[in-house]
A = this chain, B = another copy of it.
Amino acid sequence: MAGGTEEQIRRAAVHLFATRGFHATGIRQLAEAVGINSSTLYHYMGTKEDLLFAITQDSFRRLIDAADRLSPDLNPQVRLCGLVYLHVWSHATHPEETAVVDNELRSLDGDRLAQAVELRDRYEGLWASVIADGCASGTFAVQDPRIARIALLQMCSGVAGWYSASGKTSLRDLTTTYAQMALSLLSCGRDYRTIERLLDDLDLQPVVAAAWPESAI
């Protein structure tokens, strides 16, 4: 359950970067959290920024991998629910990792920031095309699709900041609630049960299991 030293470092970094912030996290704190000397860290990583970069890349790639697994044949309503599900699920189950990605990209230098932004743009492009498709087919109706996309992503990402698995809201309820709000925002309101069934039918467990292999759900 402990994992290799490299994995422990990664985990400790995610935790510290998320709670204190990248710049407020010292290399010695990180080493102490892992239980090793700070010099030893450098056997397993490059610079502190390398570590941040690796974390963000992994996080983005997992999310993109999962989203890419959504069949393009599905209709926009279902695909949107799928995107919401994956985004909310990942932010609820990996709140620290996603918080780092959402808040600490600015600590990357030019090149790496560009790479990260590229991945983010690719991911947001998936949302953009679903929304565009839905608007084109008349399923969705919004004043400004771009603003709607930004609003939806922001709203879903917020989950990382407050959701607790030990609270009264189950992951299933959480994802369904967000999917329902998302559809409503797009003027495509649906009944809660309907969305529940829709997500059940979509059955994204294999997708998340593939993209986040460490979580046995």
Contacts and interface: CB of A to CB of B under 8 A. Distances in A.
Interface of A: 19-24, 103, 106-107, 142-144, 147-148, 150-155, 157-158, 161-162, 169, 173-174, 176-178, 180-181, 184-187, 189, 192
Copies of this chain, complex-wide, total 4
A151 B144 contact: no
Main SS at interface, chain A: helix
Q: Which of A22, A106, A144, A153 counts the most chain B CB atoms within 10 A?
A: A144
Contact of A181 (B22, B148, B174): B148
A151 B23 CA distance: 28
B143 A180 contact: yes
B151 A155 contact: yes
A116 to B, nearest CB: 15
B23 A192 contact: no
Nearest to A152: B155
Contact of A187 (B155, B176, B177, B184): B184
A151 B156 CA distance: 7
A176 B143 CA distance: 9
A184 B143 CA distance: 11
A147 B187 contact: no
A162 B150 contact: yes
9 tightest A-B CB contacts, nearest first: A154-B158, A23-B23, A155-B155, A23-B24, A151-B155, A185-B185, A143-B177, A154-B155, A184-B185
